[in-house]
Chain A
Amino acid sequence: MHNRIKVKTNLWRGCCALLSCLLALAAAMARAQAPIDPALVAIPVGSVNLRVERSTPEQDMLDVGLAIFNPGIPLDEASHSILGIFPEIRKAESQFMPVLLRQVLLASGAWGVVRVLPDEQIISELLVTGKIRQSDGSRLELAIEARDATGRQWLDKTYVDVASALDYPATEGSDPYIDLYRQIANDLLEYRQGLDERELRTIRQVAFLRYAASLSEDAFGGYLQQDEQGIYSVVRLPAEGDPMIARVERIRDQEHLFVDTVDEQYVDLFDEMAPTYSLWRQYSRDQALYKEDYEARAQTKERIGRRGTFTAMEQTYNTYKQTKIQEQDLDEMATGFNNEVAPTVMEASGRVFRLSGNLNAQYNEWRGILREIFALETGLPAGS
């Protein structure tokens, strides 16, 4: 009898322990699967004043490359409408936003040449890349990363800004999310101010030598080394007056010529797109707010007619119909945006010299030509 009670007690204890483990496991799984709300991670930047440097010494002024942003369009096309993503608009935004950031960086007076690049592989003294996480008339969320030529990471941060009714209509030259761009510019400036003259000089030297090594690894590869973290450092410098350096500089100038031509096109696109884009954001915000408000009112609205009668069913259907019409108006607007802006986007990416393909392909073709010229001049094998 005593043994049976003991067995029962042990079984019961075992059962309880197993249940506790399973419940703990279930709780852990639930926690692990709970989506992280980005709004909890990134706080809106609020009102931001741009920090302006009146007299930056020329040697401190790094050149900045702003790669076209990743539009953040999910591969699963079925998710686009659920997430409220209009792919053509996102593609246009991915070219529009770096140009706006460029304007803000230039206005801060703290940087050298700021270029918008078709490709993030282009070696820059400071390269800024971005991904659009959310962009609509009410909220902009960008994931921004910045690295200098040595590979050191300056920024890896998500920026959020929210627009209010006061931000619309956006006047010419302004943007509802200008505070977000100013915050990025301020963060970059703050980081740069933390670097001393020697570190800034090293960044410029590494940028140049990495470019030279991309032309000819044999001739320039030995000037640099990379540590386990992938950070470049200068091992030695070329001799002053080295004619090879003059050639590299000339080729780099030619490459910059291409990038500047591309950059001009992005600026043209920005100017042409800005008024339409501004209207789109304003309308889409109005639509979203109206829909939200309508849905909230509809849910609490007093029902007319007894459930199941035509009056009650008609009210239910008409409420639904109204929200569908709002939603479809927004789709129509997106089509209007595409009709107006998409041809310009296409034109911008098909107009450089007589090279073929998109800007990326054109750039690669141009880079290939420059490397061949360099190899012919020096007799060295061409780099990658």
Chain B
Amino acid sequence: MNSSSLSRCTLTLVGLLCLCIAGCSSEPRKSSTVPNRADYQVDFSGFWELDYGQSDNIQVNLNGLVRDVQKQNRQRAQASGMYQQSSGGMLIGGPGTTNSGASVLGLAQMADLVTQSPLMEIVQDEHNIKVKREEDFALTCEFYLGQYHTVETPLGKEICGWNRHQLIFKMVLPEGLTIQHIMSLGPEGKWLNIATTVTSDRVTSPFTVNRVYARYEPTDDGYSCKQTISRGRVCTTESK
């Protein structure tokens, strides 16, 4: 090695080291910048009830997933020269431990589980949204500074924010499970679509189910309630 190539080597090494230092010294980011301007925001506020007729049928979507997985398996087998005509039935088996029948079916069952709320109440202002879902926890998001909001706990990571007129909630959970809800509003704000995608590292294709909600007006009971600390829930006859 002559001196010039040694110099080049040195420079490369120093460059790499500088990059490494720059990488090490930058703080872990909690949010990433996205086109998240207020004018994209849609108001989802209100009361919503699930419209089963307009929503996806899980069984139909499951059939689609099975077909996808079979197709992928065939393509993989053909590529490796080991193609055999499938005998039909519930295959499946993919690379390694993926695409077992239990995993594919499990993905569909999970999608059903996380989209079962029949009623929702959404409270939204300029910076916050709270999607209260019956029989499940509320999806919440803070949207400040045009950034995706990230919250990490030992049990999972949540990322949420606007993607133009759609609001995205993503949960990255342990054991390779990811759940993503994308909310969008239909014409005149009468319908709300939630596209839920469940992904598992044991199935090579994600599973998506669309749930459609229709607006409804809750009946005025003639009283209003508020939460307090010392007296619990306190109701008065003053209507909402």
- Which residues of chain B are within 8 angstroms of A19 by Cβ–Cβ distance? 13-14, 17
Main SS of chain A's interface residues?
Answer: helix
CB within 8 Å for A276 and B229 given contacts A77-B127, A323-B153, A325-B137: yes
Given the complex, which residues of B lie within 8 Å of A313, measured CB to CB? 106-107, 110, 175, 177, 200
Task: Report the bound CA distance from A82 to B157 in whole Å.
Answer: 13
Does any Cβ of B come within 8 Å of A54's Cβ? no
Which chain A residues border B55 with CB–CB below 8 Å? none
B155 CB contacts on chain A under 8 angstroms? 295, 298-299, 319-320, 323
Instruction: Assess the B21–A316 pair: CB atoms within 8 A.
Output: no
Residues of A within 8 A of B97 (CB): 307-308
A11 touches B202 (CB 8 A): no
Given known A-B contacts A313-B200, A319-B155, A340 and B229 have beta carbons under 8 A apart: yes
Q: Is the CB–CB distance between B171 and A320 below 8 Å?
A: yes
**Number of contact residues on A: which range applies?**
35 or more
Residue of chain A at shortest CB distance from B227 = A336
B113: Cβ under 8 A from any A Cβ: yes
- Beyond A30-B24, A308-B106, A339-B228, whether A316 also contacts B14 by CB under 8 A is no
Residues of A within 8 A of B174 (CB): 316
CA separation between A323 and B157, bound complex, in Å? Answer: 12
Determine the distance from Cα of A276 to Cα of B232 in the docked complex, in whole angstroms: 11
Check A336 against B31 for contact (C-beta < 8 Å). no
B136/A321 in contact, CB under 8 A: yes
**Size bin of chain B's contact surface:** 35 or more
Give A317-332 as 1s and 0s: 1 = Cβ < 8 Å from B's Cβ atoms: 1011101110010001
Q: Report whether B203 and A81 are in contact in the complex, using a CB–CB cutoff of 8 Å.
A: no
Residue B27 at the A interface, CB < 8 A? yes
| Residues in chain B within 8 A of chain A (CB atoms) | 1-3, 6-7, 10, 13-14, 17-18, 20-21, 24-25, 27, 30-31, 97-98, 100, 102-103, 105-107, 109-110, 113-114, 127, 136-138, 140, 142, 144-145, 147, 149, 151, 153-156, 171, 173-177, 179, 200-203, 226-231
8 A-B residue pairs with Cβ-Cβ distance under 8 Å, sorted by A, are A8-B3, A15-B13, A81-B142, A295-B155, A307-B176, A308-B100, A310-B102, A324-B138
Residues of A within 8 A of B (CB): 4, 7-8, 11-12, 14-15, 18-19, 22-23, 25-26, 29-30, 33, 76-78, 81-82, 275-276, 279-280, 283, 295, 298-299, 303, 306-314, 316-317, 319-321, 323-325, 328, 332-333, 335-337, 339-340
